[in-house]
Amino acid sequence: MFGLSVFDFSLMAAGTVALLVWLLFFIRGMKYQSMFEVLTEKEFPLREIYGLGYGVLETVKYGYKSKRDRKLRQELGILYGNQYSDYYLRTIHAQQITTAFTMFVLSFALYGLTSEVTAWVMGLMFSGLAYYYFGTATKKKILKRSEELLHDFSEVVSKLALLTGAGMILREAWVDTAYAGSSTIYQEMQRTVDEMNNGVSEVDAIYNFGSRCIIAEIKKFTSTIIQGMTKGNRELTAMLQEQSKEVWQLKKQLVRREGEKAAGKLLIPICVMFVGILIMILVPIFTNLGVS
């Protein structure tokens, strides 16, 4: 009938069922949608329909207790703070299910428009890739954040060493340094200032700073400060000056790595240009050979 095969009818039936299930969970998820209004569209695309994915999770009574969830909760605590890690864990899972399920339904629509099995298979592949991508995006954000933290780390240590060497107490030096920039490490230092102003002790606030930054070099830096605070400002200044020298060596290595990455990225357009030049040279040669 209408030239449709059994396979076409099967996909139409499966697509119809998938769409109905999608609509069912979309309607069910509307009551959860207010949870995701605080999210930004840039960081969480399609946040307007995350209630759909959360509705699925609530229906199956997902417990968020797997080994992967425990690791993801730790990563989210680094990015957003431990007090918000559970909220963002639920958000990530809702994002994964929403995007993957939506693309799964769209894959049937693609087949209906093109009548090509390849289009349907590609839609299914993109559905799986979307689920995987949003599940691993947190780790990529942490890697990017780590690079941003290291970028200005040497300047921060040098400034603190300079200010404490000039006789300024650590807290005042920390405040001056924290508001000397606006990059990631300065923002974290400003969070530490806020903690101090809210009654958290200097030792605990600086320890929290190291915990949020997670990088080994910054953890060593915070340990140096905490150790120096117990020995007095003179010992602290000497320790900071010593670490400042080490950090500048790290800065040189970082700049060298960034240069190598930039050189690697340049290889792609160079190779494309080389292939283009070869085509421009070889095509006329073979054309002339064919004419002769």
DSSP of 197-249: HTT--HHHHHHHHHHHH--HHHHHHHHHHHHHHHH-HHHHHHHHHHHHHHHHH
Distance (Å, rounded) from C-alpha 212 to C-alpha 215? Answer: 9
Backbone phi and psi for residue 41, each to the nearest 5 degrees, phi listed first: -65, -35
- Any residues with CB less than 8 A from the CB of 58 and at least 6 apart, and which? 32
For residue range 106-129, what is the model confidence (pLDDT) as tens digits? 999 988 888 888 888 888 999 999
pLDDT score recorded for residue 267: 66
Query: In the prediction, which pLDDT does 139 show?
Result: 86
Q: Which residues fall within 8 angstroms of residue 25, CB to CB, at 6 or more apart? A: 52, 53, 55, 56, 59, 101
pLDDT for residue 106: 93
Estimate to the nearest angstrom the gap between the alpha carbon of 176 and the chain centroid: 29
253 HSE (CA, 13 A, CB side)? 8
pLDDT for the residue numbered 58: 94
Residue pLDDT tens, the chain, 292 long: 455 678 888 888 999 999 999 999 999 999 999 999 999 888 898 899 999 999 999 999 999 999 999 999 988 888 887 888 999 999 999 999 999 999 999 999 988 888 888 888 888 999 999 999 999 998 888 888 888 888 888 888 888 888 888 888 888 989 999 998 888 899 999 999 999 999 998 889 998 888 888 787 888 888 888 887 777 666 777 777 777 777 666 666 655 655 555 555 666 677 777 777 777 776 666 666 554 5
- What is the per-residue pLDDT for 248? 64
Cβ atoms 160, 240 nearer than 8 A: yes
Q: Which amino acid is at 75?
A: E
Give tens-digit pLDDT for 146-161.
Answer: 888 888 888 888 888 8
